[in-house]
Structure 1
Amino acid sequence: MGTLDDMNHLKNKRIRSVADLLQDQFRLSLVHLENVVRGTICGAIRHKLIPTPQNLVTSTPLTTTYESFFGLHPLSQVLDRTNPLTQIVHGRKLSYLGPGGLTGRTASFRIRDIHPSHYGRICPIDTSEGINVGLIGSLAFHARMGYWGSLESPFYDISEKSTGSRLLYLSPDRDEYYMLAAGNSLALNQDIQEEQVVPARYRQEFLTIA
């Protein structure tokens, strides 16, 4: 028997970075530049002129496209430079809003809610208030974005056979194969000889292990 996919699980989501958005704008500017070059060539043929590379290729389509993006795009904001901390926090924001995303009036409560796959990846506290609550968040302290746009969180691989601990960055689709315990609990109990009960998470379920 198979299992139904959870649409709110982070393994079914991909982060679109600023580089991805700029890449889309660059593609639009190239299309605009192609139309300008075609129009210039047709005009030169009509007037029996010889176009030069300087007249054919200009930076105007590129500059106008990027000026429009940074000035009018819904996700484009002025960086908060109140202090270094607010500047770092503002640069690590995540948003469900914007073109191709959700809106504050149509997003359901399940999308806004905290999901177990957010553990170690998205801060459960730092979010907007009002209509955008749960739709704008921040990366967790140690989280990073993987190669394919997935959020990765660091974990120490600890087992009875291993003599040391190995740091692993797990994507949301990989951490289901591990039993994840809180790092502070392991640190507090490492010098205690008797068996200890530690809270852990396994396959999106929170439990306690000994």
Structure 2
Amino acid sequence: MTIRVLLADDQALVRGALAALLDLEPDLQVVAQVGSGTEVVGAAREHAVDVCLLDIEMPGIDGIEAASRLSRELPQCRSLVVTTFGRPGYLTRALEAGASGFVVKDTPADELADAVRRVHEGLRVVDPTLAATTLLDGPNPLTTRESEVLREALTGAPVATIASNVHLSQGTVRNHLSAAIGKTGTTTRAEAARVARERGWI
């Protein structure tokens, strides 16, 4: 049986390279390629895809949200995150969103093909080095609201703008930022946002 694969990555060269590698496998066929997260579910449905390979950082919605939507709307279609950004927090968030696996882009071609097969069989595949790092780092300490506020803080926006964007009072935003600064062991909201991003928490 041929496993029908979708590739979602905003870099055409990366998509092309992955497609060329996977199409060498007799039991894998790349039937769709998209450049943004928002296209994933529609393309997966249209092409009767079995496994979606998702980058994390893409236009529209990211790969983690795309995995979540696939899990809800096309539960028979598995998702495997394949990313440059091997951040422990990303791994946790991806699995919580419904992804069946998480590997980095420098994974050897034969291992990637095997990961696709295993995910298709209903197994979970996780990069072992990243899994160990995730266990050592522990869980994401940020609340949903703190994460939301920090994502806005990444832009350098003032508190008033952040408050408007997340529909909270400025005082509440300051409280969330203060809590996030404490949890990340930093001294400013910009540092807190940077650390949270580096760890894959936001």
Greater percentage in helix: 2
TM-score under structure 2 length normalisation: 0.25
Indicate the structure (1 or 2) with the bigger Cα radius of gyration.
1
